[in-house]
Structure 1
Amino acid sequence: MHHFLFALKDHNNTFYRKIILSSQNNMDQECQITKSSLYVTWKNKPAIEGQHGGIVAASFVLVVEVLENLAYLANASNLVLYLSKFMHYTPSNSSNIVSNFMGTAFLLALLGGFLADAFFTTYCIYLISATIELMGLLILTMQARSRSLKPESCLSANRNTKCQEIEGGKEALLFIGLYLVALGVGGIKGSLPPHGAEQFDEDTTQGRKNRSSFFNYYVFCLACGALIAVTFAVWIEDNKGWQWGFGISTLAILISIPIFLLGSTFYRIKLPTGSPITTIFKVLAAAIFNTCFPKNARNAVVSTNRSPTSNSHSKKEEDITEDLTFLNRAVTNTSTFPTFSVTTKQVEEVKIVLKIFPVFLSTIMLNCCLAQLSTFSVQQAATMDTKIGSLLVPPASLPVFPVIFIMILAPMYDHVIIPFARKITKTEMGITHLQRIGIGLFLSIMAMAVAALVEKKRKGVAFQENLMNSTQPLPITFLWVSLQYLFLGSADLFTLAGMMDFFFTEAPFSMRSLATSLSWASLAMGYYLSSVLISIVNNVTGTFRHTPWLYGSNLNHYHLERFYWLMCALSGVNFLVYIIWSKSYKYGSKCSTGSNETQMLCKSSGV
């Protein structure tokens, strides 16, 4: 077990520096060290080029992701119904709890990415996070199995009697289990994708292509896990009991740990290089200090982080750029201002982070739309006819439609669309990251428009059949709701894979795990924004009407179609802002790998 936590041995990485220096001085044919000299094996030995990393190592990550996403979505996709039917929360409260739970899980990916970059490794963070998620699932399984830990059933109560929501210690146990799962999921999401991407050598064109394919197939594996979750696992939950559903999730995450460990001999593991957050704040503080006290910084000089053995052509690369010139003031003479001393390299790294940050902000609205897949969309389907022939389909299995579509589209995108685009554009990327993200943003607009029209049709049937106050299924097939799922599923494929590849590729070497985690943080902010929008809409509409748009225990009384139109309009505005920003963005021409500079062959271009 001591090998799993090797990053804890030396907080300052002195031990690793000795390994690297020793390896560089004794390079021979038997032990060819990787070019970056910043990767080791799980046993603390230098990673060997050709023996560690590559497609085989990344394959273990992909298999683990199938099981991890199965464990997560088996509960998250159906959780809103569990909370409303068994914990007796109202539909609105259930939606908010699910949105906050999923938002927290994805936001905690930032913590996982930060720890992997700064102190631990992606390898260690995954193992720790999987253990935490396993503990949370065990608590939820125990609660679902024990009647004494759930609120009293109200099936025999008078129809006019409101069911009592879960409260007290029972509610505390529920949230402890949920947020232990959220903490574990966040750590896994923040460590597993960059761990897989780190297995590929970015110094070669084929290595970069393989890394791009990895992100496509990572989304494909997400869909594979989701397919099992929303079909088999959801059927088990609805027909055999939630204790069995949570049990499936527990078993899946338990199996994923030894599978991940089986790949240990193949992995190459990036060494932690110190806190990226510290670097960002240090550069910002230095820039502010030198702006507020210009007289003290008058004699400041630009300091580069050039190594003595660097080639002469690297001088141009290390010159400070004119983008975000405010940050250029942070570079000072280290002997004059030791507290605020930063190098040109650190300033340029912070510039990269700040320039990619608008992508993170632009995708929050899309993920707010995606939040509806786990909340109101499931509740819509629950009021409709969920039969396909003689087969009764659980409402939470609706995501099977976009999942199957993603499973078809992801390989097609990688093997058909991208090669064709490369021939047309004559570039390595074919379709740029920003173009791919933009397509996803546009599809989210279409999804919300379709959702509004479908909800209008659903309520129209309820009104015509005089079932507005009834809880029985409406005589309209739930397949209508699948239309919005298809649009949102397509948007998710284009945007999520595009974001992860974009953040990992563009971010500085020392901040890659944290930057990749921004993809999940965007999902988190989207779920939080969904809850905020619901509260704002209810507060605003409640002042002009007796009943807010999204309030009550009967979905037929909601004005959900108006809420969807509002999200459609907000998504449209967000898309226009994204287009304006992305036109001015230029892709980075280099990628920092510790003390070396690796040339990137991707052409600089905007959307």
Structure 2
Amino acid sequence: MEKNEGCWVKGEDDGEEGNNKLQIWEGYVDWRRRPALRGKHGGMLAASFVLVVEVLENLAYLANASNLVMYLSKFMHFSPSRSANTVTNFMGTAFLLGLLGGFLSDAFFTSYHIYLSSAVIELLGFVILMIQARSSSLKPPSCDFATASTPCEEISGSKAAMLFIGLYMVALGVGGIKGSLPVHGAEQFDENTVQGRKQRSTFFNYFVFCLACGALVAVTFAVWIEDNKGWQWGFGISTAAILVSIPIFLAGSPAYRNKIPTGSPFTTIAKVLMAVITAPCVGRNTSNAVASIPTSPSTTQTTEADLMEAAQSKALVPTMTAELRFLNIAATKKSIHPALECTAEQVEEVKIVFRVLPIFACTIVLNCCLAQLSTFSVQQAATMNTKIGSLRVPPASLPVFPVLFIMIIAPLYDHVIIPFARRVTRTEMGITHLQRIGIGLVLSIVAMAVAALVEIKRKRVATDLGLLGSDKPLPITFFWVALQYLFLGSADLFSLAGLLEFFFTEAPASMRSLATALSWASLAMGYYLSSVLVSIINSATSTSKHKAWLSGGHLNDYHLERFYWLMCVLSGVNFLHYLFWARWYKYRSTRQLAY
């Protein structure tokens, strides 16, 4: 392998294997930066290490994120709305930083190195949070909202700084891992074979399955530990999970094939856009390389280089698609500067980015709905009867219902539903990525309608018993709230797996990490949108006679059912918007299977 960017060099001991191009994965290296070899690197074995690591990573993250709203309100004395916004901002930042992890994986480092550095940063963040949770001097004075005569003192100053430094170090680590780990696993398969593509599809399905496995331990065992033994133990579980995941990931190093970074994808995008913008500025005689070639060489001075340039320009035109044809100018017209000259391949790569962005945008409202699972839904359950017999279930353990459903349906989907769909449709995908995402959007609409009806029932019980302003648990089982968890969990299964595979398979090879990170960026934007909506709704509904919908010291003071109905309507409008773009979108290729 030739030297690439001054970093990636063929090893001296590669011998005959290095000279046999049939045995080398072109564009990939092993962990020692030697050429990756077929039969030795990549495959399901290498991807299996990634799946095990994802179980531990998601366990570490969700062990705290799913219950963080209770920690902030009970121990840091945040109000319900501020607790919810702090959690959504934290989780939104974590997922948005997945774009940074994806960018660095594509441009400068391998996904292998991005994962390792991100895991260390997340580990340090959990250590900081564990130390703070363990020491009472690093938290505000103890206070009970129900009995306190004055408002409880919120955390502030250096104590608050310690809290947020720990949280956002975790967010940075999570972002780097989310932006690199799924792509690292997907890159272990040969996309040039049907078997490799099928294995890659299976990997994405089981990646979501492993997310659920980690979440199951997080929302049951870890949450119980936090509520009954103390949050220092909860953060300790997360610390231990990340600490164990690092050597497991390293154990797979001899089997990994690591994609060589090809430079910043933003450079290609900026180059094409600048070429399009500046093309009209070029004079008429030089605006089109083809037109500048005279028809009669005897009458004008024409060099051989000019003729070759014209021939190349003509050859580029048929290779470019008709969609977004205004971008074709970048390759068919002469630029004002040689550095802005683009190839047809670069133009097509940028077109792909433009085509997937509307699909990305249509999933933000869905993830805004999912954000409620970590905020208001937990607070709803906390006001209800959470006992099953003599066992008290922590409210943050409610996600166990969608998690169990995902763990059942994910293998069933991969081994039964997809093979059947392939035979019926006679296509390699069976059920397309966009169809899976569409199913998730429909389920989110149903989930918000169910959530609104459950909140109406909960408030009616509180009103009838005169418990609106009381912290006494309502005599209504928390299983009612589990319904919205079930629908939203199902929506997450279909949408997340579909998005991850959609962005990975449709994106150019040089942009795959960044494109796949859009799945997590959509989650981030959903969490941010949730915070923005809460602020906008409170501002719009607050009058001199009426309180804002989502304000007050107790959840029973809120008009949460109205918020859920609004989310239901927004989700319905968003689905119609999605249908337009999904019908417009054309896949890069539709491969037919032979049976």
Smaller-chain TM-score bracket: over 0.9
- Counterpart of 1:601? 591
Q: Match of 2:328, SS?
A: helix
- Counterpart of 1:3? none
Map 1:100-119; keep pairs closer than 5 Å. 100-119=89-108
Q: How far has the Cα of 1:580 moved from its partner?
A: 1.3
Q: How far has the Cα of 1:426 moved from its partner?
A: 1.0
- Unpaired runs of 5+ in structure 1? 1-9, 303-314, 590-599
d(CA) in 2 for partners of 1:584 and 1:428? 21
Deviations 1:189-222 (A, max 9, x none): 0000000000000111111010001000000000
- Counterpart of 1:266? 255
Percent same amino acid among aligned pairs? Answer: 70
Q: Is 1:85 the equivalent of 2:77?
A: no
Q: Is 1:345 the equivalent of 2:345?
A: yes
- Counterpart of 2:448? 448
Q: Is 1:150 the equivalent of 2:139?
A: yes
Q: Match of 2:8, SS?
A: helix
- Counterpart of 1:28? 20
- Counterpart of 2:438? 438
The runs of 4+ residues in structure 1 deviating greater than 4 Å are 17-20, 22-26, 315-318, 332-336
- Counterpart of 1:165? 154
Letter in 1 for 2:571: S
Q: Match of 2:36, SS?
A: coil
Q: How far has the Cα of 1:16 moved from its partner?
A: 2.8
In the superposition, relative to structure 1, how do residues 185 and 23 fare at CA in structure 2: closer, same or farther (>3 Å)? farther
Q: Match of 2:476, SS?
A: strand
* TM-score normalised by structure 1 residue count: 0.90
Q: How far has the Cα of 1:331 moved from its partner?
A: 1.8
Equivalent pair of 2:361/2:522 in contact (CA under 8 Å): yes
- Unpaired runs of 5+ in structure 2? 292-314
- Counterpart of 1:563? 563
- Counterpart of 1:48? 37
d(CA) in 2 for partners of 1:92 and 1:405? 30
Deviations 1:227-247 (A, max 9, x none): 000000000000000000000
RMSD: 2.3
Q: Match of 1:564, SS?
A: helix
Deviations 1:319-361 (A, max 9, x none): 1222111111112677862131111111110001110111110
- Counterpart of 1:594? none
Letter in 2 for 1:491: A
- Counterpart of 2:311? none
Letter in 1 for 2:505: T
d(CA) in 2 for partners of 1:61 and 1:237? 28
d(CA) in 1 for partners of 2:336 and 2:541? 59
d(CA) in 2 for partners of 1:555 and 1:374? 15
d(CA) in 2 for partners of 1:333 and 1:177? 52
Q: How far has the Cα of 1:292 moved from its partner?
A: 4.8
Deviations 1:414-457 (A, max 9, x none): 01110111111111110000000000000000000000000000
d(CA) in 2 for partners of 1:448 and 1:378? 15
Letter in 2 for 1:241: G
d(CA) in 2 for partners of 1:158 and 1:477? 25
Equivalent pair of 1:23/1:33 in contact (CA under 8 Å): no
- Counterpart of 2:369? 369
Map 1:271-310; keep pairs closer than 5 Å. 271-293=260-282, 295=284, 298-300=287-289
Aligned residues: 569
Deviations 1:94-125 (A, max 9, x none): 00000000000000000000000000010000
- Counterpart of 2:512? 512
Equivalent pair of 1:103/1:523 in contact (CA under 8 Å): yes
d(CA) in 2 for partners of 1:494 and 1:500? 10
- Counterpart of 1:188? 177
d(CA) in 2 for partners of 1:460 and 1:292? 67
Letter in 2 for 1:267: Y
- Counterpart of 1:233? 222
Equivalent pair of 1:24/1:33 in contact (CA under 8 Å): no
Is the radius of gyration larger for structure 1 or structure 2?
2
Equivalent pair of 2:280/2:287 in contact (CA under 8 Å): no
Q: Match of 1:442, SS?
A: helix
- Counterpart of 1:398? 398
Q: How far has the Cα of 1:546 moved from its partner?
A: 2.6
